[in-house]
Structure 1
Amino acid sequence: MEGINYYIKIGPYIKELREKNNMTKSQLADGICSISYITRIENGERCPTSVILRQITNKLGITPEYLFRAIESPTSLQVKDLLDQIFTDIEKHNFKNIYKLIIKKEKELDIRSIHDMQIIETFKCISTTFLNENYHWGMDEVKNILAPTYIEGSNPTDIEFMLLFSYGCFLLLSDQQEKAYAYLKNIEKYLDNIQFLHTRVLFPAFYIFLIAACLDTSNFKEASLYLNATIDYCKKYNTYSYLRELYFLKSELFDHLNNDKEFTIWYNKALMLHELIKNSDDEYFDVFIKNRLKKLKTS
């Protein structure tokens, strides 16, 4: 396959975007570089530094990634649009829509990037597993998706970590509580080394299942510490949809501690927040509560 010289192709594309925005070279260069530098970039005579490229694309209302995708192939931007929609839906627990989107789009799009393909396969696996409640299939699929890129024991990317913790999640949901607790505790160490996040919900999503595993294995002190830290994180980074599960898990902790008053307070907080922010097709939280209540009744 013939390689793409991105920097020769960047210039004409930047010029096209500048003109579409009715922006002069002087306006684009202002605060970034000289007008002559912009001219040389647009003519393909100069390769902009990563810092200058980011400043130019910001002023044009796009990102460097968007620019490279536009150059790479006509369908590359459509892949990005699909990925953006997937990450929006995962924040809403909208597994049905994720599955429908992927099934509809994956055969239409020219997906050249291994990384993009891994993201799509990851969310196809997660959505399929949750919708079908086939957790053993999900665990096998996680291993298959990780195999081409991940070396066991190495620091994972955020998507690889999502796959790793999904495996722990599926262990927990298949009633292998002790294994799930040990596995999730073991991979927690990787969180500090993740350099780039596609979405901030990765952290609360992981800790919700680690907290649940702590509760299921009677590690209540750990559960309390994780709950307080994760609730603070969600408030700080506006990942409020995950507070519902966290509030419910806090009520569950108080039930284990035989504190009926605090159980009622946090249980009602979870339900109230759910009513405020739920989506029309959000069944995830209802299923989550039903399954956790069933565990409480049998514990």
Structure 2
Amino acid sequence: MDKEVLGKEIKKLRKLRNLTQKQLAEGICNQSEISRLEKGEVFPSIDILHLVANKLKVPTFYFYEVLIHDNISYKNNLTGKLMTLVQNKDYIEVYKLVENELKKTECHPEFKQFLLWQYYVSAYYLKKINSDTCLTELKLLLQQQTFGTNVIQDLFIKNSIANIYAEKRKFKESIRYYDSILNSEIDSLEYTAFRNKVLYNLSKVLFLDNQIELSLSTLDEAIEWLCRNSDMSLLGQVYFQKAECLEKLNYPYDEISECYKKALFFFKLLGLTYYEKIIIEKKQRYLN
């Protein structure tokens, strides 16, 4: 058994549950022992591992599953590579990598759920399966028992479902899934950042569904969060979408122009040349 792998998993789950080392240790052992566990310096006794598992809300055998199936470094590298490919919409390479990985020996349920998620979504965008098949398989993934160790991953899958419904112009179903994500009570930085991306996705669907005022208020919520947290990652897209809402609602030229100019500024700052080209080509009259 690998002490370092076990320690990293305990630390990951503790942060996911929003617990400090002191809170995790309470009623179990000294905080210093939790610190040593997470650093991979010692193995816990069976009794302590059982108590730690209970407080982290996973069955004790989960840790044995991790130690048996998971090569943490390999898994993290593959996950990072796949997510980069997805961002670049290279679904051919995603499909190829995941298909090969799924042919290997059994992996931990959480990681297998991740691989199958990428497999079905890439298959859909490559037209190997239709939207209905993809939606069915993604919904089945949400029903699989992964012990709740990565609730964020379930929300990512819900976001994919919402996106596909939006592409099918089934806006009611799409909005329902986005709302489900936004109403989740998860206290983690990863969720908070992801939630803002979902707000942006929701605003686009509301716009397409002609709920312009609601789209605008959703965008203002996203802008307020991004500015408060000094996060520029989506500001260009959000300001662009807000400008389109203002156009649709016949706001004054100056207000629309200001939003498009802000969008262009952030596109240039972040090197988003694809979006920069779109705004220059289609919204030039507001950039003078």
Could you tell me the TM-score, scaled by structure 2's length? Answer: 0.62
Distance in 1 of aligned mates of 2:3 and 2:68? 14
Query: Do the aligned partners of residues 51 and 242 (structure 1) sit closer, same or farther apart at CA in structure 2, a change above 3 Å counting?
Result: farther
Q: Which residue of structure 2 aligns with residue 116 of structure 1? A: 111
Distance 1:141 1:286 in 2: 32
Mapped pair 1:193 → 2:188? no
Q: Does residue 215 of structure 1 match 2:199?
A: no
Greater Cα radius of gyration, structure 1 or 2:
1
- State how far apart, in whole Å, the 1-side matches of 2:176 and 2:75 are: 34
1:251 Cα deviation from its structure 2 partner: 0.8
The answer to whether the Cα contact below 8 Å between 2:237 and 2:263 also exists between their aligned partners in 1 is yes
Alignment counterpart, residue 271 of structure 1, candidates 247, 264, 275: 264
Q: Distance in 2 between matches of 1:105 and 1:135?
A: 14
Q: Deviations over 1:236-267 (max 9, x none)?
A: 45553222221110010111122322222212
Q: Percent identity?
A: 12
Compute the displacement of 1:275 (Å): 1.9
Residue 251 of structure 1 corresponds to which residue in structure 2?
243
* 8 Å Cα contact 2:200/2:238 also seen in 1: yes
Aligned partner of residue 32 in structure 2, secondary structure? coil
The question of 1:231 aligning with 2:185 is answered no
Superimposed CA distance per residue, residues 81-119 of structure 1 (whole angstroms, 9 cap, x where no aligned partner): 2224445666xx3332x7525623652554512221222
What are the equivalent positions in structure 2 for 1:32-47 lying under 5 Å apart? 32-33=32-33, 42=42
Q: Which residue of 2 aligns with 1:62?
A: none
Question: How has the CA–CA distance of structure 1 residues 192 and 12 changed in structure 2, closer, same or farther, with 3 Å as cutoff?
Answer: closer
Which residue among 61, 65, 68 is the counterpart of 1:72? Answer: 68
Superposed CA offset, 1:144-192 (max 9, x none): 13215429xxx99433333333233223334x2xx31x22332304433
1:145 to 119, 138, 143: 138
CA gap 1:162/1:238 in 2 versus in 1, 3 angstroms? farther
Letter in 2 for 1:78: Y
Q: State how far apart, in whole Å, the 2-side matches of 1:232 and 1:202 are.
A: 15
How many residues are paired up? 238
Aligned-partner residue type, residue 32 of structure 2:
I
Aligned equivalents of 1:12, 1:208: Cα separation in 2: 38
Aligned-partner SS, 2:224: helix
Does structure 1 residue 163 correspond to structure 2 residue 124?
A: no
User: 8 Å contact 1:146–1:160 — kept in the other structure?
Assistant: no
Aligned CA-pair RMSD: 4.5
Pick closer, same or farther for the CA change 1:31–1:160 going to 2, 3 Å. Answer: closer
Contact 1:251/1:263 (<8 A) preserved: yes
Match of 2:197 in 1: 205
Q: Matched residues in 2 for 1:12 and 1:165: separation?
A: 33
Once the two structures are superposed, residues 271-297 of structure 1 have per-residue CA deviations (whole angstroms, 9 ceiling, x without a partner) of: 221222136xx85x479x58xx69xxx
Secondary structure of 1:258's counterpart equals coil
Residue 6 of structure 1 corresponds to which residue in structure 2?
Answer: none
